[in-house]
Amino acid sequence: MVVTHDRLDSLAASLEAVVGQSRPPRWLLVVDNAHDARVRALVESLDGESGVAAHYLGSRTNLGGAGGFAHGMLHALALGADWVWCADDDGRPEGPEVLAELLDCAARHELAAVSPLVLNIADATKLAFPLRRGLAWRRTRDELVAGGADPRLPAVDDDSGRRWYVNFASAEAATGRPAPAGVDPVDRDRDLLPGIASLFNGALLSAGALARVGVPDYRLFIRGDEVEFHRRLARSGLRFGTCLTTAYLHPSGTGEFLPILGGRMHAQYPADEAKRYFTYRNRGYLMSRPGMRRLLPQEYARFAWFFLVVRRDPAGFVRWWALQRRGRRERFAPFRPRGRR
């Protein structure tokens, strides 16, 4: 399932990579938030290729990423899908074995959801988005894989008698008991980063996971819908993780994350006003949800320092605070540029 909006060229590359998988999906669903006749023609041209049935889902309302993925997921479930493979129009699988690798990883580790590594489409040695492990930020593929691959890690036996050399983001989701302190999560086969998934870039979600967790929240539109879904997934008790042996390519998003306090923390600052609106408003909503509230003091300190000390921008801090407050109060009004009514 691919969500698109006005990116015909990159969409074509994405769809070609999807239908060219060694283990192709049964259906190809394309949710078009721009209701573009050219996208319809592209999708219809792929119908039957590699045995894949292509479905064009044009929307006359821009549903955003959140609504687009929700629409596509529900349509896939209505068709009878057991798994839903998610993608967007500016990324693509790294190679033809990605879906087969994800299905194999999910089967071996009994996962309800699994995502590939998400790598920079311009330089596949680097992560598309930085990932924090302990006190260090991982920015390359090698750092992420090597950072946890330590066979000397203590083991934890789960309730099914399986042994994991892991520390799930939610220990109870993995084992039902506390994991050893300080364990960096990599399992004994060194191919899984448990309890962490990059959504929705190449993520594979089971129908059972969607029944337990639901679909993305349309109100969020863009920005933060994947974090909110990840929060629900982590609290669900389902097993999930990142497969370290396969990857999805995506444009880098690292430029938005600006280091503060000597790189010990980062503050997200999108260059576009609309993206800042959705990022900060939706982040305010997220910080009010169970499982996220403990991060509030750190959130306030981070952005107070960023706006008042680093940028010397009191007006920017006031705007950030107002958007956070709007999100906490669940006031999901559409974006309107300042100065317009």
Over residues 209-219, the pLDDT tens digits come to 999 999 999 99
Q: Which residue has the higher pLDDT, 304 or 133?
A: 304
Are residues 201 and 324 located together in one domain of the fold? no
In a domain, 341, yes or no: no
In a domain, 143, yes or no: no
Is residue 230 within 8 Å of residue 75, measured between CB atoms?
Answer: no
Residue type at position 292: M
19 has pLDDT over 60: yes
**Taking residues 64-74, what's their average pLDDT?**
98
Helices then strands, counting H and E runs in the chain, come out as: 11, 16
Q: Which one of 252, 272, 299 terminates a domain?
A: 252
Respond yes or no on whether the N-terminal peptide bond of residue 306 is cis (omega within 30° of 0). Answer: no
Are residues 217 and 317 located together in one domain of the fold? no
Q: Is the dihedral of CA 209, 89, 16, 50 positive or negative?
A: positive
Are residues 112 and 216 located together in one domain of the fold? yes
Are residues 232 and 302 located together in one domain of the fold? no
In a domain, 150, yes or no: no
Over residues 237-266, the pLDDT tens digits come to 899 999 988 999 999 887 888 888 887 788
Q: Which one of 252, 268, 300 terminates a domain?
A: 252
> Domain limits at 16?
2-123+192-252
What is the pTM (predicted TM-score) of this model? 0.85
Residue located via tokens 């506390």: 178
Q: Is the dihedral of CA 224, 203, 142, 147 positive or negative?
A: positive
Q: What pLDDT was estimated at residue 157?
A: 53
In a domain, 15, yes or no: yes
CATH number at residue 82: 3.90.550.60
Are residues 217 and 301 located together in one domain of the fold? no
- Number of structural domains found in the chain: 2
Query: What percent of the chain is modeled with pLDDT above 70?
Result: 84
Structure tokens at 14: 């994405």
In a domain, 220, yes or no: yes
Please count the other Cβ atoms lying within 10 Å of the Cβ belonging to residue 330: 10
Are residues 247 and 262 located together in one domain of the fold? no
Q: Which of 80, 150, 132, 76 is nearest to 254 (CA)?
A: 132
Concatenating the DSSP letter of every residue in 173-209 gives HHTSSPPPTT-----TTS-EEET----SSS-EEEHHH
In a domain, 147, yes or no: no
Are residues 266 and 237 located together in one domain of the fold? no
Mean pLDDT across the chain, nearest whole number? 86
Q: Which one of 252, 271, 294 terminates a domain?
A: 252
Please count the other Cβ atoms lying within 10 Å of the Cβ belonging to residue 240: 32
Best-predicted range by mean pLDDT (117-126, 139-148, 202-211): 202-211
CA distance between the termini of the chain:
36
Give the Cα separation of 269 and 272 in Å (integer). Answer: 9
In a domain, 161, yes or no: no
In a domain, 180, yes or no: no
Over residues 280-339, the pLDDT tens digits come to 999 999 999 988 888 899 999 999 999 999 999 999 999 999 999 999 999 999 998 876
166 has pLDDT over 90: no
User: How does residue 108 score in pLDDT terms, banded at 50, 70 and 90?
Assistant: confident
DSSP H or E run through 156 = strand 156-157
Give the Cα separation of 323 and 236 in Å (integer). Answer: 28
Are residues 279 and 225 located together in one domain of the fold? no
Is residue 137 within 8 Å of residue 264, measured between CB atoms?
Answer: no
Are residues 198 and 298 located together in one domain of the fold? no
Are residues 29 and 115 located together in one domain of the fold? yes
Are residues 105 and 196 located together in one domain of the fold? yes
Is residue 70 within 8 Å of residue 215, measured between CB atoms?
Answer: yes
User: How does residue 167 score in pLDDT terms, banded at 50, 70 and 90?
Assistant: very low
Are residues 209 and 301 located together in one domain of the fold? no
